[in-house]
Amino acid sequence: MTFADALHACFSGFGSIFVWPEFGLLVAGVILGAMVGILPGLGGAATLAILLPFSVGLPPTQAFALLMGVAAVTATTGDLTSILVGIPGEAISAATMVDGHPMAVRGEGARAIGASLFSSLAGSIVGAVTLAATIPFALVAARSIGSPEFFMLSLLGIGFMASLSGSSTLKGLAIGGLGLMIATIGMDRVGAIPRFTFGQLFLWDGVGAIPVSLGLFAIPEIVHLVANQAAVSTDVATVRGRLRDGILDVRRLWPLVLQSSAIGTLLGLLPGVGAGVSQWVAYGHAARRGAEHHEFGQGAIEGVIAPSAANNATLGGSLVPALAFGIPGGLMSAMLISALIVKGLVPGPEMLTPEAQGGHLTLVFALVWLIVLANVIAVALACLSTGLLVRITRIRAARIVPFLLLLTFIGAFTERQVIADLLVTVVMGALGLALVRYGWPRAPLLLGVVLGPLAENRLFLSVDAYGSQWLLRPGVLLIAALMLAAFVLPRRAHRWKRQQDVPSPPRVAKSSSFNGEHVFILLLAALLGAAVVVAASYPPRAALAPRLVAVATLTLLFAAVASDRLKTGRSEPTVSLPFTTPSIVTMVWIPIFLVVLWGFGFVAGAPVVVLGYLLVTGRERPVRAVVLAVVTGVAVYGLLFRLLYVPFPPGAFYSFLTGYFV
């Protein structure tokens, strides 16, 4: 492939999109993808699976215009839900919520949206350009990265837990350890040993990232919403002005945008890592970079820009191994590989060969342009509708809560279509409430859940394939040196800076009275102790990771408590979560939603439970409540069950009555 070939393919690819019906299909895909992104849990990958059979009869460029329209924008609009209502629109949008939602709460939702949209656009452009530029070199890179390097990279990611921990590194690491512990639940692939599954088959595949993220972040946010507020925000600042502020933030912080996009693209290049990880690594990088500001977690604009750029850049990066070798970087690129194969296009060197020589280079460049154009269209649409979107934050809490709870449970179900994941969400919600109430960070737990399986899997593959020799591979040594530099240098700089600043205040012991936080810590310690005991019954290899992680987490937990007691009062800037009557009432409704949706099914149960909440707790006027419930029923049945084929199961009560359980 010569430069002239590439240039020709680049222009041809661009031209191939601006014809009918290709462009129309792209816009249709973008609109569908934007909707799917906004609705929590309805994933882009599942939508692609539904669209795949419909694309079979279309020529390749038309099919990919539709599919890339969906794939490229779910992260962009998923960030909007994270910002506005504090529920991750997509699993890959959870990090945007950490700072984006506090901004919405204080009336800066439009500014956060502006920053998120334009950093998403920048990220997608960086990812797409990287895709175009690196495909020819991808084969060399892929061959040099084996399981040992993957393991080291996952360790590097786990190291970012410290960056996500606010000012209490020990607490963050302990909670990250808890996440790694949760990640050991499920079938051990090597030994075929079910770990911590307690006879439940749904746990064999582990605990899904979506139920964990919805439980940890959405449930506490919903409770927080009703605790002391009438709405997410009552700010009345002009949308246009705020949106422009966000765009200016992106321009001002362009080095961070580029760095985060680079992080997203690079992690996208690594199969199996994906945007679920890159968003947090970029967030951690932003937090580390701006360590002197203590706004992270409370509405720092950098905390919105970094993950938004990274999660969009990841798609472009993940398509490199997908197109060059057929190796999916994540679920979304796995779908796109399926689409290629359906079109009779085999990923490999032919994808890099000009059409004149029997290849598909123009199509590759068309994909690059589709990523960029899809995001341009999505950003334009979102900017035009920002005023409408921001109004969501001004709806009074009692009216919006039942819909947020319903969306949370629908989102939890749709990832794996397992009804038991609703229970996982509630359990994680309880954990999230405790973490927020006692000022413990939540992000490291999610990072542990995402990275744990990758780290364990790659460690055993490394040991099995190379023995102890894996430790001496150049790539391993290089990443180890990078890790050392990443963790030692900032600490030295921080220590030096502290020496320049005023001396630390004298340490005063905290009150020794036994409180709810102590109960919470003891409960965690008991669970970890029990895990050590249960793991003793597994074969040594299957037991290694859980026992090691449990003991390390217990140690960190007690170290965090000891350290906390030595400090002046509470060092962590805690999120206020008073358990007021409204919040307690809403907490009671959470299990009610669970039981009704499980018992009556989503189609029948959703309108019932929404109506119940609106009438009983929301004190809504009966006519309006009934109308809203009917609209809910129609949306769940018509839009989700019939149009999008979300396979809601019949309720357990109906199943029982109609003889399912024989």
Contacts to other proteins from residues 606-625, by CB under 8 A: 607-608, 611-612, 615-619, 622, 625
Out of 129, 155, 291, 342, point to the residue binding other proteins (CB under 8 A): 342
Closest approach of other proteins to the CB of residue 348, in Å: 4
Of 18 and 656, which has the nearer Cβ to other proteins? 656
Integer Cα distance of 82 and 38 in angstroms: 9
Backbone phi and psi for residue 246, each to the nearest 5 degrees, phi listed first: -65, -40
Judge whether 37 and 68 are in contact, CB under 8 Å. no
**Where in 254-273 is the site for other proteins (CB under 8 A)?**
271-272
Q: Build a one-symbol-per-residue string for 96-115: x at contacts with other proteins by CB under 8 A, - elsewhere.
A: --------------------
Out of 201, 472, 482, 485, point to the residue binding other proteins (CB under 8 A): 201
Pick the piece of the chain touching other proteins (CB under 8 A) from 310-318, 340-348, 440-448, 554-562.
340-348
155: left (phi over 0), alpha (psi -120 to 50) or beta: alpha
Give the closest residue to 336 by CA, choosing from 366, 358, 309: 366
Residue 277 neighbours by CB under 8 Å, 6+ apart: 157, 267, 447, 450, 451
* Interface with other proteins, residue 14, by CB under 8 A: no
Signed CA dihedral, 70, 74, 75, 80: sign only: positive
Question: To the nearest 5 percent, what fractions of the chain are helix, strand and coil?
Answer: 75, 0, 25
* Interface with other proteins, residue 192, by CB under 8 A: yes
Of 29 and 441, which has the nearer Cβ to other proteins? 29
Closest approach of other proteins to the CB of residue 284, in Å: 25
Q: Name beta bridge partners: 396.
A: 231
Of 382 and 625, which has the nearer Cβ to other proteins? 625
Q: Build a one-symbol-per-residue string for 442-461: x at contacts with other proteins by CB under 8 A, - elsewhere.
A: ---------------x--xx
Pick the piece of the chain touching other proteins (CB under 8 A) from 25-33, 92-100, 187-195, 277-285.
187-195
Total interface residues for other proteins by CB under 8 A:
98
Closest approach of other proteins to the CB of residue 585, in Å: 6
Task: Name residue, tokens 């209490």.
Answer: 168
Judge whether 398 and 619 are in contact, CB under 8 Å. yes
**Where in 23-52 is the site for other proteins (CB under 8 A)?**
45-46, 49, 52
Closest approach of other proteins to the CB of residue 581, in Å: 5
Q: How far apart, in Å, are the Cα atoms of 242 and each of 306, 370, 383?
A: 19, 29, 11
* Interface with other proteins, residue 604, by CB under 8 A: yes
Q: How far apart, in Å, are the Cα atoms of 475 and each of 314, 462, 469, 493?
A: 22, 13, 12, 27
* Interface with other proteins, residue 358, by CB under 8 A: no
Integer Cα distance of 638 and 578 in angstroms: 39
Closest approach of other proteins to the CB of residue 511, in Å: 30
Residue 478 neighbours by CB under 8 Å, 6+ apart: none
Query: DSSP readout, 104-120?
Result: HHTT-HHHHHHHHHHHH
**DSSP three-state, residue 88:** coil
Integer Cα distance of 424 and 100 in angstroms: 25
Backbone phi and psi for residue 135, each to the nearest 5 degrees, phi listed first: -50, -45
**DSSP three-state, residue 190:** coil
Backbone phi and psi for residue 436, each to the nearest 5 degrees, phi listed first: -65, -45
Out of 1, 190, 430, 575, point to the residue binding other proteins (CB under 8 A): 190
Q: Build a one-symbol-per-residue string for 283-322: x at contacts with other proteins by CB under 8 A, - elsewhere.
A: ----------------------------------------
Of 348 and 490, which has the nearer Cβ to other proteins? 348
Lookup: tokens for 529: 């102790």
**Where in 141-170 is the site for other proteins (CB under 8 A)?**
142-147
Lookup: tokens for 606: 């959703």
Out of 134, 298, 563, 655, point to the residue binding other proteins (CB under 8 A): 655
Of 472 and 489, which has the nearer Cβ to other proteins? 472
Of 464 and 507, which has the nearer Cβ to other proteins? 464
* Interface with other proteins, residue 548, by CB under 8 A: no
Closest approach of other proteins to the CB of residue 397, in Å: 6
Out of 8, 106, 159, 191, point to the residue binding other proteins (CB under 8 A): 191
Pick the piece of the chain touching other proteins (CB under 8 A) from 307-315, 501-509, 554-562, 626-634.
626-634
**Where in 487-526 is the site for other proteins (CB under 8 A)?**
none
Beta strands in 112-230 (DSSP E): 186-188, 193-195
- The interaxial angle of helices 169-183 and 540-566, nearest 10 deg, is 160
Integer Cα distance of 551 and 340 in angstroms: 46
Out of 59, 349, 529, 578, point to the residue binding other proteins (CB under 8 A): 349
Pick the piece of the chain touching other proteins (CB under 8 A) from 290-298, 304-312, 346-354, 548-556.
346-354
Pick the piece of the chain touching other proteins (CB under 8 A) from 374-382, 383-391, 558-566, 642-650.
642-650
Q: How far apart, in Å, are the Cα atoms of 647 and each of 71, 77, 437?
A: 21, 24, 36
Q: How far is CA 59 from the centre of its chain?
A: 33
Of 230 and 485, which has the nearer Cβ to other proteins? 230
Of 440 and 648, which has the nearer Cβ to other proteins? 648
Pick the piece of the chain touching other proteins (CB under 8 A) from 23-31, 209-217, 429-437, 576-584.
576-584
Name the helix (H) or strand (E) containing 547: helix 540-566
Of 508 and 662, which has the nearer Cβ to other proteins? 662
**Where in 375-414 is the site for other proteins (CB under 8 A)?**
396-398
* Interface with other proteins, residue 475, by CB under 8 A: no
Pick the piece of the chain touching other proteins (CB under 8 A) from 193-201, 211-219, 260-268, 518-526.
193-201
Judge whether 91 and 276 are in contact, CB under 8 Å. yes
* Interface with other proteins, residue 344, by CB under 8 A: yes
Pick the piece of the chain touching other proteins (CB under 8 A) from 100-108, 484-492, 570-578, 628-636.
628-636
* Interface with other proteins, residue 532, by CB under 8 A: no
Of 23 and 653, which has the nearer Cβ to other proteins? 653
Report the largest interatomic distance among the alpha carbons of the chain, rounded to a whole angstrom. Answer: 78
Residue 104 neighbours by CB under 8 Å, 6+ apart: 83, 84, 85, 86, 112, 232, 233, 393
